[in-house]
Amino acid sequence: MNGGKNRINDGDLLLLERVTPINAGSITGKIMAIEIQDDVGNNQYLLRKVSKLTNGQYQLNAHNPEYTPILANDSMNTFARLKQVLNGSDFV
């Protein structure tokens, strides 16, 4: 998430709100923390802005233009909503 005006830099702290399918509410337009597994089964974590396409699918968009959008699927676990970024240099 190092693109755009609200950058997340190395050392910044993220305030995340844990969500479940029961309490998540609408996630469209929100930046969500998502757990996925790579090709060898290792967990990876993404922060992506969620958009809903006209066909009903959800698309995960990075603020960094180097990353292409990803279509959400059932293997992904959306577990938290980004609430705030705390500047890491404030804690040094």
Q: What is the model's pTM? A: 0.84
Per-residue pLDDT tens for 12-56? 999 999 998 888 888 999 999 999 998 898 999 999 999 999 999
Please check whether residue 70 lies inside any domain of the structure.
Answer: yes
Per-residue pLDDT tens for 48-86? 999 999 999 999 999 888 899 999 999 999 999 999 999
pLDDT at 92: 60
- CA 27/CA 10 separation, integer angstroms: 25
Tell me how many domains the chain contains: 1
Closest residue by Cα to residue 10 from 69, 67, 88, 76 = 88
Kindly list the strands in the beta sheet with 43-52, ordered across the sheet, starting from the edge strand earlier in the chain. Answer: 13-18, 77-86, 31-37, 43-52, 58-61, 70-71
Please check whether residue 36 lies inside any domain of the structure.
Answer: yes
Please check whether residue 22 lies inside any domain of the structure.
Answer: yes
- CATH of residue 34's domain is 2.10.109.10
| Contact yes or no for 74/27 (Cβ under 8 A) | no
